[in-house]
Amino acid sequence: MLTSNVFRRSRVGLAIGSLLLAMGAAAAQDVCANIEQPLTDALKQEYAGLAAAALDGGGTPDQIEVDTILQSGARSVAYVTPPEMEPGYMFFEKAGGKKEFKDVWGGFATVSEQPETAKWAETLGAPADLSACFASLAASDEDDE
């Protein structure tokens, strides 16, 4: 009898743990709901061209890989990988009908650094929803120890 009680408790604990993990994943997706854009060929080409123009020696648009595009209002962020360079999140603002390069974030942040990462994006003029989505994507799963 003791064995079956322990087994039932461990199954309940496993189910609760799985539910909590699923809820965490859903929360991470929710922060980018309506911000993350579908990666169409036209958008990839547009942001590859913008990245090539903004980066000295960053290659030609056909050499730049665009993996993620986020947008909120007139502000957007593209996660790009140029040849011979580290990938980065490039920030743009649409003004006068054109997207203008603002800054780039290279590297990653820890989960505990997400608030500071979002604040950095907001200093560029990114709205709070875009900043929060960017910070959640830029954060790695493990904090510094």
Amino acid 90: pLDDT:
97
CA dihedral 25, 28, 31, 32 (to 10 degrees): -90
- Predicted confidence at residue 20, as pLDDT, reads 35
For the chain, give the percent of residues with pLDDT over 70. 77
pLDDT exceeds 60 at position 79 = yes
What is the secondary structure of 20-78 as a DSSP string?
Answer: HHHHHHHHHHHHTTTTBPP--HHHHHHHHHHHHHHSTT---GGG-EEEEEEEETTEEEE
Is residue 38 pLDDT above 70, yes or no?
A: yes
- Give the orientation angle of helix 2-31 with respect to helix 128-138, to 10 degrees: 130
- Cβ atoms of 45 and 53 within 8 Å: the answer is no
Higher-pLDDT residue of 47 and 143 is 47
What crossing angle do the helices spanning 128-138 and 114-123 adopt, rounded to 10°? 130
Average pLDDT of the residues in 76-90: 95
Q: Residue 9's pLDDT is what?
A: 46
pLDDT at position 141 is: 57
pLDDT for position 29 = 62
User: Average of pLDDT values for 95-107?
Assistant: 94
Average pLDDT for 12-38: 60
* Between 75 and 5, residue with greater pLDDT: 75
Distances in Å between the Cα of 13 and the Cα atoms of 1, 17, 18, 88 are 18, 6, 9, 39
Could you state, in order of their start, the residue ranges of all structural domains in the chain? 1-31, 35-138
